[in-house]
Amino acid sequence: MDYRKLNEWITEMANLCKPDRIHFCDGSQDEYNRLLEEQVRANKAIRLNPDKRPSSYAFFSDPSDVARVENRTFISSVLEENAGPTNNWIDPKILKPKMEKLFSGAMKGRTMYVIPFVMGPVGATIAQYGIQLTDSPYVVCNMRIMTRMGEHILDIIESGKDFVPCLHSVGYPLDGRPDVPWPSAPIEDKYIAHFPEERLIWSYGSGYGGNALLGKKCLALRVASKIGREEGFMAEHMLILKLTNPEGKSKFILGAFPSACGKTNLAMLLPTIPGWRVETVGDDIAWIFKKDDGKLYAINPEKGFFGVAKGTSYKTNYNAMKSIEKNTIFTNVAITEDNDVYWEGMDETPIKAMNWKKQPWTITDREPAAHPNSRFTVSIEQAPNLAKEYDDKEGVLISAILVGGRRASTIPLVTEAYDFNHGVFMGSMMGSEITAAQISNDIGKVRRDPFAMLPFIGYHIKDYFQHWFDMKQGTKEEDLPKIYYVNWFRKNDKGEFLWPGFGDNSRILKWIFERQEGTRKGIETPIGIMPRKEDLDLSGLKLTDEAFDELFKVDKNAWMDELDDLYRYYQSLGEVPQELYDELIKVKERLLK
């Protein structure tokens, strides 16, 4: 959109949505505090115990609005083939009029907040600027934490910087009816729509997370992935960590993992091996770009954590728990009798609490106290292990990329790709086994999630895979990051995890670091390079030879089945680059030797 049309666009959207008033957000602390206190007075939020959790608040959503709604998320490209087989598609000629009808008068009785923001450090060559219009003060406060937001961004946009227009409404106009604690629309009226050709985002009917914080999954992944395809960078669902050895040398590692695979835990890991240090640059999204030297670099477009609370504790993620001790927004957690937060997996379980539905809860209740998708929103600057490079507009040099999923068998603990093409193949086969917790008739089958991007690719998946191969053009193989497939979740025949995980994952990071330095060996196998027992630092671990062998076992029959299933997956996508089939054949041929 032409920047000169900014005021016209805001006026046009205000005329459509009919808010009572318009407020241009300045991003200040005073504005943030005022909006939160207004929500407390309106019975939409709880101020937590200032002695336990200073300057922190809890919100509680409607039970119908608790997570991203993928079946109501659309890539509305002009041509259906541009959205591809992995996206929900509606013709923009149909979707736009339908949504305009919903937006008509949607903000009656409310304030339209104008949020100027940028994804990425200000001044970064691939930073993306945006304006979000919303009628949710909850969204304003979360966007202030998650993005670089404020008057200075509006100044940059008004000076001529292109921006992505983002329109959002909770879909609950106050047209002669009282407000409710968490306004939202019925599921059939929820739409999270992306119009790639226009670089435009419209979201209606949900106030929760990635449905409403439009800088996050909508812009930083779905729309940015399409922009990156056109402009030569990649928007990826990846953590960025900084790994430093005892001698003070550092490397930056990216990691792509589906949900429930420990991405945030890895980004904020406390190593169990002396002298090694992990710092975080980001826990969720990485934008990858190439510099004139031909090497790949990354920036974190976000400025905060929107983390899953469930299972987070001082034992599992000390740094995350330290980050949220103050200045945090919690959503759908339980509240203890002393007005602090609680969720399942925390260090101590209260006898009584108020659950996320604001109902009395006791330790004997079968229902969980906190919603499984309960969240915390906190500034990245509160992370005790924050890397100083987190805000560097020049980005960080990528040494390695980890890919992985939750697999009880077949996939070894760590495997190094033979080259970049083989690594892209590894990323394409990623996935996790379907569990009983997921309502499905396919328990045990692998749900493929290439590079953990399946819900976030804003265009055809075949072009997404091709973009990975295109990124290496003009770069020497030795200058590209090495790619590793990791699997912390392999089990024995009793269903017990073979690897301790958490802080001990630093032992695998150490091997990867030293592989980059050329100081650590590995052995070639049909599926990639793996460490021998003597190649890993296992000091202090009670890992038997039998467990080690099982962690690195390559079962020929299981792998042939895996490759056959992967071939069928490629076929189901209609079309993928020939390079993926070539790598599949190479692995199969090595297995048959």
Active-site positions?
261
Q: Which amino acid is at 442?
A: D
Can you point out the beta strands (E) in 170-210? 191-195, 200-204
Beta-ladder partners of 129: 118, 163
The Cα 310–Cα 498 span in angstroms is: 23
Residue (of 365, 367, 368, 372) closest to 311 by Cα position: 372
Q: Which amino acid is at 354?
A: M
Give whole-number Cα distances, 225 to 21, 98, 128, 455, in Å: 34, 26, 11, 12
3-state helix, strand, coil in the chain (%, to 5): 35, 25, 45
The Cα 125–Cα 228 span in angstroms is: 12
Burial class (CB in 10 A: 0-12, 13-18, 19+), 171: buried
How far is Cα of residue 403 from the mean position of the Cα atoms in its chain?
A: 14
Structure tokens at 230: 């056109």
Q: 442 CB contacts (<8 Å, ≥6 apart)?
A: 434
Residue (of 155, 174, 86) closest to 461 by Cα position: 86
The Cα 555–Cα 411 span in angstroms is: 9
Q: Given CA atoms 15, 20, 21, 22 in this order, what sign does their dihedral have?
A: negative
Concatenate the DSSP letters of all residues of 561-592 into one string.
HHHHHHHHHHHHTS---HHHHHHHHHHHHHHH
Q: Please report which helix (H) or strand (E) contains residue 213, including its range.
A: none
The Cα 191–Cα 208 span in angstroms is: 12
Give whole-number Cα distances, 532 to 415, 545, 549, 551, 553, in Å: 11, 11, 9, 11, 11
Q: What angle do CA 513, 517, 520 make, to 5 degrees?
A: 75
Token pair 């975080």 is at which residue? 280
CB burial string 174-192: b at 16+ within 10 A, e below: eeeeeeeebbbbeeeebbb
Q: Please report which helix (H) or strand (E) contains residue 553, including its range.
A: none
The Cα 262–Cα 268 span in angstroms is: 10
Residue (of 125, 134, 414) closest to 289 by Cα position: 125
